[in-house]
Structure 1
């Protein structure tokens, strides 16, 4: 009988999780390439540090075990992006993790990664499951003994383990200061995670600051949540993420920090093969965005050129791109030509070549025109006579004559500023700066009083360092959004101080809407300070990094003391009393009867024994009431959330219920005194008389403390069935351990005092949740001892050994 050899698989190493586990990406087959997590058989590497997950209650930060980072880094530098083959010896039930052997190269003649890691002295051999008659497994023991003898890695005799544990900084206390301290300096980094095409998380080396970096100047298609909370990818979002991930994930890169957006950092990520932002744009996976383009230190023109290239080729997100009619299509934006005609006060015709002519307009000025606001009208002798603008509009002729005498037949330099699209029947206009002999023609025209300066785009400034109430403003559909309290007063003061005044603007940044963020000064007076001083604005936390922060705070304190405007009703907050966590666990047992166990989690409902007589009396009265005055079938119309009387299908008796869901003729009701649910029709429902509503619902939900269900579906069902048999319809002692939704409790037998959760743990049916509260330390310790015993005896979920030994979350295992 021949022994079946394990199948040989091939792929590219995408990620190294630790010194004994990798993620391998297979060949794509019409979609995203499949990925498999492969753990090295028969060895165990030190566990890598993990940051706390703020979205998971009780999640705690962990530190590296000694040599964990060295082991991971050795494997990362050896394997990332390299082709490997691997065999799978077995798959751990419930976790999906595969255990086997990985070889570097195209076949199994390549370097064995398990043996390589043992030889470096950075991992240990798991000797418990080794076979004495297996030469390959015994070779692992020999390699480990050789590493110990040579004093390699963790086996060195003079090693100080503290020198081999990283000091990770998972959060930045002051992102702005961090960026400023490294501004425009390329920092060494390793990319640890790719969130989307333009957002990565990385370790800055050698400080081990863990940062989230948004790539400056660009934006890729994103992943968004729909109304049901499901993640939906925008077109090309998956492809953009894969493009970045396949090039950057766990690669050594340089990061140039350039700005801050909320708690995220803005920066340029440079791979040895180039700027990833530029590459994303060139391949049509991203577009340029103005709000962060202003901080780009590596040349914004390169990014715009890359985007232009993708547009021209109509790549990916630009597949439906159509150039705007107003796009400047000149070969060069700067050229020279001879003026052959002056059309009017702001228009010229320039000859560019032998038979090439171009009509251009002077940018940013407005020629003489009839003032509609003052009611002026063109002087005419006859109402039927057509107006001749050149002669009938005041100073139009003089403006044209000025340009004619200065420019006609002369060579001028033209710089195209913008193209004004067709509007209200007028054709497209190419607006330019025209100079002759170094003199700006438009400026000369304005200086003679023959034209007025005109801004085609208004400069919008958002004041730094303050938060100001908003005035009334137009809303959608012709409505008006009312002003916030003191918003009109703030608007009036701003208008009074700066409208049509000469001001100085100190720009700090640009927001997502392209507005400048900065400080505005009128006659050397800071407008932000004036608003705060008048009690019409509050100091915003962003002012902390500016030199104006102290004066703004002083102005705010003064306005508070005088109770000006927004501070008129201000009351100093009372100091919050910090209640220290109790050091000792409080035990206050209450006798309960478990009336219902929920089928899909550890939740159950109890009745307190002390309330039993009162509930019995109520039920007896309700049964008599419904028997003496039976409801008319179909007369009751159910409403979601309403209390009602509901007839239980098994004993045909009436109980108090609450309507939870209505689907057509089917109504789901929860029996509020017992916790069970049933779906019925309206003929089994009736209005609940008022006299039966005063008693609070007697079924109270709880869940077991310090206990977690396993992931495997069969194992979960075994645990829930055991819980059901252990507690349903039994009188037990309940103690609330910590708050939650619902509260978490322990249950104990009133006679033997045996703990239900500990018993389930000892049977190997559930896992222990490692709570960090000091008062729970003894309880968690007792549960952990029971769990260790179940592991050693290989009970139930531990029948295949300890499947949580490795870095559980990194391997896809979630508690």
Structure 2
């Protein structure tokens, strides 16, 4: 280093570390003093400017000597240890005499008071000074050299604006001081700004200041400082000023021989710093590559480094697998080539989440739908990778953590964190770029992070800038998804809609067993439990009142088969019916495959007798027969039994005819109808009169009642101004009107459903098929409304049904069967029941149908028909 025009710092060759330094002052000459800044602790003192030609003398020596070998002789050593002597360029005294060169250029004056006449070297200095004066060189020019005094700027008022004004273009500079390996003091040219610059993207070991004022170096701090000093100190460089967060100027120092930032990393003198890598203009991947090289070679600060996956085999670190399930926005379940299932977490990202404890207290809290953007994140991943093969590169294994220091229960189990790519696309980066996830910030010494961490940070920065997803200032998306699983009443209302819809789109959310699934219906925005029709799957183990029920053979295999085929896939379902628990029953199709048929063909289920009436029956039976012949899985121990004649003596059940008087209050478009018992009619009227009298005496406060689905309440009917009781979960069964919630009120306690049960009961007709053609069904409904609505009839329950009992109605006066009348008029077809005790009624209905055919009434008006000509779904005939 050149301290001034007449003083330099020299040091020998390094041997095992930075060599000692030595200051040499040039004998017999003097140069101008360089500018000095006043101590910050003494605000009353002023800065000292350059003396004329002081900086030029310093620059003359700097450009001549920095980085060069010199030879010096010591002539005088003072009591304080200062050494004065002559310095020569090169390895011996035959080289250029530095003092003579300075004097010759007019940049130094000779101390003539100490000149001895018999010393030729000193005499030569005097001669050179006289020649410089005569030639008016340097300080001997006219004017005294005031134009050579620098306007040094120690403080920048607005550093951020100053950095921005540089437009990240290289600025010429001289490195004046090296604080540590990654922080330097630079003189920016030509405007003489003296600034401290921290290298972007890296940090070297530092010197910590202790309480007593001494500095203690961190390991390799001195070596890192020497590495930077020996290459940059007082060198001509270019600096790219890249950012200025919190008054700290970040930049990159470029030397003709290389980039010091990347060299420090490669040699193990520095580590990458996440917060400042984002502004590094030369490419963050170069910094990561340099750090990775040092880690692999275990040099210097990485001498004890152990890679997160060092103990893993190559086949476990990098593999191809099939995605079976998207568990969360940051985790997937994959199937390895070995058939093993493994949960993989995406490295260094965090899915959307809700802070606080309310989510834990709310039993109805459903993360996938209730956390903003969680559903969008899951759907993005599901559509992108479900059922597809992906490349998995394990980045680190996150150890299990306990919920507290004393707890043995893990808060998080061990996690395999990896980078998952498909078609060259990093799934984690894609999620972050759309604002569906955020990037985890780590401690600087935490090496367990994504191998593409910088790309994730860059993706997050883009998402924030563009206001995507979680970073959007718009209102968050709300997913109101109704879960009607096990809600029998809700399922009853929904069933006709699904039956009419034919094939409906769905997404399989969960697989309970081989034949029991949970579906999300996108168009209807609801969740349903769905049972596969036509088959009988092996049951899994489950808790029963008497203890654990043992799983049937191949139940796990059946569930695994169904999971692999349909879990989180888009499917089509045909709903046929529902059970008593509110579960829908039907057929599920995926890419042309009927899941029921697939399970039977793979010997993982048997055909159930309910499949007989299905169009898939022949296919199911054929698949079952093939499985039995192969003796595969559930048929492994199957033995063909000999047919034996077995005579069963059975008591034939008799049909019970127990007609009671009812009042038909409503007929729906689906040919269901509601009735009230005549027997309790007087009681109902008296109750309503008493209730209305109490309401009139104590009217409800408008708007005081918060309506909830499933509640019984009262409403004011505008047609007559009276109050009526109804349930918010069922269809209106009498007068209809859409009213605001302010016209609803709580039932007075004395008149609840405990006093008198709900009076409107839903039924449907036995022995007849409901026309699926809308026009044909409308004709039947019109006829029924005309004949029986708001009239008294006789009702008998014939058999139970999925949604309501199946009954026959008789006109009160003539005792004629209403349903049979419809059949005889050719308006409906007969629903043939197989129960023996109902055969007499079925025969009577079939005879009525034959008479309608013969008379060519309504649907039978064409003469060239056969029994199978009538389309049971539309009553449209082939001609």
Q: Normalising by structure 2, what TM-score?
A: 0.42
Rg comparison, structure with higher value: 2
Where relative contact order (Cα < 8 A, 6+ residues apart) is larger, the structure is 1
